Amino acid sequence: MKKKITISTIITIFFLSFSCKEKENSNKINSMIDLNIRPILIEQIKSGNDQSYGGFDDYGEKDLNALVLIEAKILNNNGYKKIDTELFNQKVEEIFDRNIVQNSKNKYIKIETYSDNKCNKKLIYAPYTADAQYLYITKKQQFITDFHALPQVLDYLKLYPELSEYEKKDIEIYDAVANTKVRASQWKDNLKELTQEREKNILTIVNRNKYLFNDDKASFAWLKFNDDKFLNDLVKIFGYVKDEKLLSFALSKNINDKQEFCKILWNHKCDGKAIFHQEVFNLVKTYDEKKRHDFLDNLSLKIINLKKIITENPEITFSQKAELLGKIAYNAEKLAQLDNYQTYQFFKTLNEDVFQREFEKQNYYNIQDFKEVYDEAKTGGINFAE
């Protein structure tokens, strides 16, 4: 009798395979640590890992360079395939709304992952902490990464046991508030947790890049269970809706949240444009009748709140607001008409003359039956002239 293979089975097999590869590749990683990386690793070990007492304060481009060299080998050893440069640049623009300038002197692009700052393109070098959760795109090696310290991806004690010498002496810091000396934490203090963190960091960098640039299905499955915030951010912060399976995942995760659901339906780009996501409604059309009804039920409960969120947004013009609301309402009405289910309720929130004038001015966005659906909704589908 054939056994059914589940997603969890696939992920388990993938994880075990990855663990074996990691052991096999330890010597390869060891051999590629050259004279440019070793002194950086030593400095990071000597600085410790205490964020409260400046353990990461002296990190800069050289630290990121060293990390990228290590991660490039890790990615290569775990099946990541570099793609054509033009295709890579195209994907970066499509996913993160950033344009790679090949002749720029900068080797990296910094991506803000906090929605309010996502348009800040200034390149700074800041390791991943609670206050600096940047992604970095490396142009030459063609992958994305968090800015980790080397011990967070490299088993420094296993590969270089002699480096333990640099942790024998405590790191003492003067605390001006407490008016006393305190001991700052070091990498050696929590080796069990560091090992777990390192494994997670490596799996994360491998699976993010294999999913985004190699379209790896197993990596997408791993991310859904282990890095769902990253997947959600791709849609809600950066507006990446071209991948149907990603969009379906994000929609199911956020449909019951008024604020977050709104972020699925449209995205405010850094050039000032407010982009309506037609892809959401195209996807829902493919759902079965019950799932379509569930979507419409959720949307009908949120439509007034959506209107409030959009109309009160100070960063987009009224014309953009009307287009977003009009297209949301129109597509919802068209979905409802598929099953004759709760029709004529979505355009009712846009009955004001100011919206009608704007729709007319924009020629109903060149959508053939927009005016017809809008007019019908105002009367509940009743033609009083007849």
In this prediction, residues 140-146 reach a mean pLDDT of 97
| 306 closest CA partner among 258, 354, 268, 345 | 258
Would you state the pLDDT for residue 339?
A: 86
In a domain, 2, yes or no: no
**Co-location of 16 and 106 in the same domain:** yes
- For residue range 53-106, list pLDDT tens digits in order: 889 999 999 999 999 999 999 999 999 999 999 999 999 999 999 999 878 899
**Co-location of 177 and 290 in the same domain:** no
3-state SS class at 213:
helix
**Co-location of 283 and 153 in the same domain:** no
- For residue range 368-378, list pLDDT tens digits in order: 999 999 998 87
In a domain, 353, yes or no: yes
CA distance linking residue 147 with residue 128, whole number of Å: 5
CA distance linking residue 218 with residue 241, whole number of Å: 20
**Co-location of 361 and 290 in the same domain:** yes
| 284 closest CA partner among 234, 336, 322, 348 | 336
Q: Residue 352: which region, alpha, beta or left (left: phi > 0; alpha: psi -120 to 50)?
A: beta
- For residue range 165-175, list pLDDT tens digits in order: 999 999 988 88
**Co-location of 206 and 336 in the same domain:** no
**Co-location of 176 and 302 in the same domain:** no
Domain boundary among 180, 214, 248: 214
In a domain, 233, yes or no: no
In a domain, 221, yes or no: no
**Burial bucket for residue 55 (CB in 10 Å: 0-12, 13-18, 19+):** buried
In a domain, 235, yes or no: no
The tokens for 33 are: 């640590």
- Kind plus residue range of the DSSP H or E element containing 116: none
Domain coverage including residue 320: 240-378
**Co-location of 60 and 146 in the same domain:** yes
- For residue range 212-259, list pLDDT tens digits in order: 999 999 999 999 999 999 999 999 999 999 999 999 999 999 998 888
CA distance linking residue 14 with residue 218, whole number of Å: 8
Number of domains within the chain: 2
